[in-house]
Amino acid sequence: MSNIVVTGGAGFIGSHLCEALLRDGHSVIALDCFDDFYDPAIKRRNLVSAMAYDHFLLVEGDIRDQSIMFDTIDQETDIVVHLAARAGVRPSIEQPLLYQDVNVRGTLNVLEACRRVVGCKLIMASSSSVYGNRKEVPFRETDAVDDPISPYAATKKCCELLCHTYHHLYGFPIACLRFFTVYGPRQRPDLAIHKFARLIEAGESIPVFGDGSMMRDFTYIDDIIQGVLCAIDRIDGYRIYNLGESQPVALRDLISALEKALGKKAIIDRQPLQPGDVDRTYADINRAREELGYNPCTDIETGLDCFVTWLREESSV
């Protein structure tokens, strides 16, 4: 069993990962700053199950604080899963300096901490946004990613480059995982599926940007966690992997599937396309299948049913 540090461990993906690692018998330290991007109380609820394990420790701190990173990632650390980041395409356009500071400088602190620990391995969360507004699909890890269209995407590309540099200089294994539109229980409240479901349930209108033809490779949280666990087991050298469902869904079809899962009709509020949004995302997952054993298997209907069940249970608490 390993000693694993998860940055951003109280977030949507991080809390699910911590639970999976704890169930497998690993010792887990979750680091989170509980910032105000959304209600910190939600993140604390995310960790209720994890806190029941003796081999779990929560550290409240910011990845921009180098001393905290050096204290948390120490000589006992085997693996770091770096999920902490300032997320969101549209907010990054409004606050580019903050996104650079958290995502780039914070990742540098993680890398600096890792290189000081003999035998440490790093998994870093990247994003499908690095592909920009590509017309050719599906997106492959070998595609050029030199044209990001949001500060958020640019910071993730920068972090991948820094990871490559540190692997080259110091030799420790690093895998960068490009996540494709993750959803499921505990999804951030600002993201489309959570926001839409909440508004439809309340009988309020949902903001739809564009004509509904925009497509996303929606990926259920259990499939993402399976991919991360596979990367932890098989990390070697420096490698980039797409983790997606590889089944893009148009926004209009997502809304129809949500209506079915909720048993309610959506009220559509048409709005213009937003800066930074791409037309589609679509993951080629052959590399992850072949090298990691990644095997996503949750279709959108099943995933949405699970999400709606969770949403209604949360609302009744």
Would you call 143 helix, strand, or coil by DSSP?
coil
Burial of 253 (0-12, 13-18, 19+ CB in 10 A): middle
Would you call 6 helix, strand, or coil by DSSP?
strand
Would you call 283 helix, strand, or coil by DSSP?
strand
Calculate the alpha carbon distances from 108 to 64, 73, 102 in Å: 9, 13, 10
**Does residue 166 carry a catalytic annotation?**
no
The answer to whether 30 touches 58, Cβ cutoff 8 Å, is yes
Q: Which of 38, 53, 131, 152 is catalytic?
A: 152
Element (H, E) at 72: helix 66-72
Task: For residue 11, give both structure tokens.
Answer: 């977030």
Query: 150: closest CA among 314, 278, 284, 236?
Result: 278
Name the residue type at position 179: F
Catalytic sites, residue numbers: 152
